[in-house]
Amino acid sequence: MELNKYLDVAPEVAAALAAGKPVVALESTIISHGMPYPQNVETALKVEEIIRQTGAVPATIAVIGGRLKAGCSKEDIEHLGKKGLAVTKASRRDLAVLVARGEDGATTVTTTMIIAHMAGIKIFATGGIGGVHRGAETTMDISADLEELSHTPVMVVCAGAKSILDLGLTLEYLETHGVPVIGYGTKELPAFYTRKSGFAVDYEIDTPAELAKAFAVQQELGFQGGMLVTNPIPEEYSMDPEVINKAINDAVAEAKAQGIHGKETTPFLLAKIKDLTGGDSLDSNIQLVFNNARLAARTAMELSKLA
């Protein structure tokens, strides 16, 4: 693959890819928009450490000074963490302008998939994907993450779609676009903060080896889209459904009252839910990201054996 002239692949990541070793992509919106400094930097570095301990190479994805980065240095991560909300939350529509202007961008699920694919990275761990927002039948507020999953061949390991969304409509959208939704050890879609949603996934798969084989076959068949692996939050960090659902409903109502919409919706809701739950939701969020990183790394290791 001829690398894009705007792309910088970190030496450690490039060496791993050249040697056929496992690599796991990580997003950077969670650093700049997901939590306060210095907790955001500590969490990002911990996720990288977990991936290394599992036997794979982490590649945190971002836009730094107009360069697409597949693999960030500690200094890059510190920069994004300190700059925080001043960093543009970069979706597909933002990339060209940010690169042209030489600006910074924190990558969403969408842009992490795009840059990972440019670099040749096939597996990506995140917290939760975006999806169809509640009330989308009137607002048409649907995350670009879903569209990206339909045509970019990267496996995304997450704890389900964020539970602030309309989960039923999110699954319908993914089905329409031919994206397989896999439950890791579950037949039910996890709901981010909780292990159950009441909605069924397409398939249950119980081992990283089987996940890797399914994704490898999908690529060999020539299908262009990705694969969504939903990994339930560990039981001990799962939140009380009544508590979290009340917090979500209250946050959604406040967002509507304040006229919050578009790309500001998710950061507003997550911050509000954190306040309403006394910080418990943020603790759960961090733990589910760690859990997804482990599974992604184990799956990447199995995928590397199939090459």
CB 190 within 8 A of CB 292: no
pLDDT at position 69 is 98
**What are the residues whose beta carbons fall under 8 Å from the beta carbon of 249, sequence distance 6 or more?**
none
Percent of the chain with pLDDT over 90: 72
pLDDT at position 3 is 60
Question: What pTM, to 2 d.p., does this model score?
Answer: 0.92
State yes or no: pLDDT of 156 exceeds 70. yes
For 179-234, how does the pLDDT look when each residue is reduced to its tens digit (9 = 90+)?
999 999 999 999 888 898 999 999 999 999 999 999 999 999 999 899 999 999 99
pLDDT at position 180 is 98
State yes or no: pLDDT of 162 exceeds 50. yes
Which CATH architecture describes the domain 1-121?
Answer: 3-Layer(aba) Sandwich (3.40)
Distance CA 53, CA 51 (A): 5
Q: Rg (Cα) of the chain, in Å, rounded?
A: 18
State yes or no: pLDDT of 146 exceeds 90. yes
Task: Find the mean pLDDT for residues 231-250.
Answer: 87
pLDDT at position 139 is 67
What is the amino acid identity at position 231? N
State yes or no: pLDDT of 51 exceeds 80. yes
* CATH number attached to the domain at 128-307: 3.40.1790.10
Average pLDDT score, the chain: 92
Name the one residue in this structure whose structure tokens are 């039923």.
168
Q: Which of 284, 307, 209 is nearest to 35 (CA)?
A: 284
Task: Find the mean pLDDT for residues 19-46.
Answer: 95
Of the listed 69, 89, 162, 274, which one is catalytic? 162
For 94-137, how does the pLDDT look when each residue is reduced to its tens digit (9 = 90+)?
999 999 999 999 999 999 999 999 999 999 999 999 888 777 66
For 56-104, how does the pLDDT look when each residue is reduced to its tens digit (9 = 90+)?
999 999 999 999 999 999 999 999 999 999 999 999 999 999 999 999 9
Strands (E), the chain: 7-9, 23-26, 57-64, 67-70, 88-90, 105-107, 123-125, 155-158, 181-184, 203-205, 227-230
Q: In the annotation, is 162 catalytic?
A: yes
Question: For residue 1, what pLDDT band results from cuts at 50, 70 and 90?
Answer: very low
Of the listed 27, 48, 78, 302, which one is catalytic? 27
Same fold, 1-121 and 128-307: yes
Q: In the annotation, is 263 catalytic?
A: no
Q: What are the boundaries of each domain within the chain? A: 1-121, 128-307
